Amino acid sequence: MTVENVIIIGSGPAGFSAGIYTGRAQLNPLLITGNDIGGQVAITYEVENYPGFPESLSGPELVEKFQEQAQKFGTRIEYDYVDAVDFHQHPFSVHTQGGKTFQAKSVILSTGATPRKLQIPGEEELTGRGVSYCATCDGFFFRGKKVVVVGGGDSAMEEAIFLTRFADEVTIIHRRDALRASKILQERAFSNDKIKFIWNSVVTAINAGESGAVSHLTLKNVVTGAETSFATDGIFIFIGHEPNGWMFADQVDMEDGYVITDRRMHTSVPGVFAAGEIQDNHFRQVATSVGQGVMAAMECEKYLAGLEIAAEEPAAELVPA
């Protein structure tokens, strides 16, 4: 079996950046995409804070550019989902849902994170029928309607503002009486006439009407305990993310589902690096993921050079006792 120099798992900003750098270093990297190309930025309507694009661009446009640049330097793309890895033996092995097994001298983990669920009655059943985690994908269907956004972070504010392009009314429901979002996004949300807030409240159930789509929510005020019903056509949930790292459990050191790395993106296994939201639950920016992907690639290059030197060095002579 061919042993790859480096396999990059994941096709978000971290993965493609690692592809650009390892490709340019002539390492002929293989990047395995996961189910969807681009990760979370691929479902972002507008990216306005990625340096170098002052006019801003859409998430899918940015992903296309990342991919084009990675392929330009020789990154090979495998459209598959990694479901198992073995880092206990070198060369490492990587298995995909498509039934393929690859071997590699080094691996860069960049599988990112996915939206967290509320885990309440009605959420799963009504996903796609009024429950959504992607305003860019589904906002259009709510033209002239009433929608709810759950969450108090940057994502909730950004997506609520985006939804006002379509919906007549956007109600943000937050479990506390203060937002976590950055000041600039808070100000934009507060000054938008179409956005209303319900504070100190959680959604406890999502209910369907006769059509089978979302018609109303059950809300609970966490201060008074009072339960109310709130009519809405849709609910968009932005309450954070879960890391996509279950397949790395027992292979590298992890904490709360995130892969632990040092400041140079090394995991607990020499030759395995991690970058982006699979190892960063704090910054979560396209720009920081790109930086981490670059760092992982540079360290990976150094690791592979070290392996080559070790292979070329003559074995130490045995000295008789």
Active site residues: 134, 137-138
Q: Does 176 bind ligand NAP (CB under 6 A)?
A: yes
Look at residue 200 and give its three-state secondary structure.
coil
Q: Angle formed by the axes of helices 154-163 and 183-190, to 10°?
A: 30
What minimum distance in Å lies between the beta carbon of 117 and ligand NAP? 9
Comparing every residue's Cβ against ligand NAP, the nearest one is 153
| Cβ-based nearer residue to ligand NAP, 240 or 257 | 240
| Stretch 192-221 residues interacting with ligand NAP (CB under 6 A) | 202
Which of these ranges, 2-10, 101-109, 153-161, 259-267, lies near ligand NAP under the rule CB under 6 A? 153-161
Q: Tokens for 234, please give them.
A: 């849709």
| Cβ-based nearer residue to ligand NAP, 28 or 200 | 200
Which of these ranges, 134-142, 154-162, 204-212, 221-229, lies near ligand NAP under the rule CB under 6 A? 154-162
Of 66, 31, 72, 67, nearest to 52 by C-alpha is: 66
CB 174 within 8 A of CB 167: no
Of 252, 240, 251, nearest to 284 by C-alpha is: 240
| Stretch 98-137 residues interacting with ligand NAP (CB under 6 A) | 118
| Cβ-based nearer residue to ligand NAP, 78 or 138 | 138
Q: Angle formed by the axes of helices 286-312 and 13-24, to 10°?
A: 40
What minimum distance in Å lies between the beta carbon of 187 and ligand NAP? 13
Q: Does 284 bind ligand NAP (CB under 6 A)?
A: yes
| Cβ-based nearer residue to ligand NAP, 223 or 305 | 223
Q: Which residues contact 11 (CB under 8 A, 6 or more apart)?
A: 31, 32, 33, 34, 36, 37, 38, 39, 63, 67, 77, 110
Q: Does 4 bind ligand NAP (CB under 6 A)?
A: no
Strand partners, 236: 132, 149
| Stretch 241-270 residues interacting with ligand NAP (CB under 6 A) | none
The site string for ligand NAP over 44-83 (x = CB under 6 A, - otherwise) reads -----x----------------------------------
| Cβ-based nearer residue to ligand NAP, 14 or 150 | 150
Among positive and negative, which fits the CA dihedral 132, 186, 276, 74?
positive
Dmax over CA atoms of the chain, in Å, equals 88
- Integer Cα distance of 133 and 117 in angstroms: 9
Q: Tokens for 64, please give them.
A: 């296309």
| Cβ-based nearer residue to ligand NAP, 5 or 155 | 155
Binding site for ligand NAP (CB under 6 A): 49, 118, 150-156, 158, 175-176, 180, 202, 238-240, 284
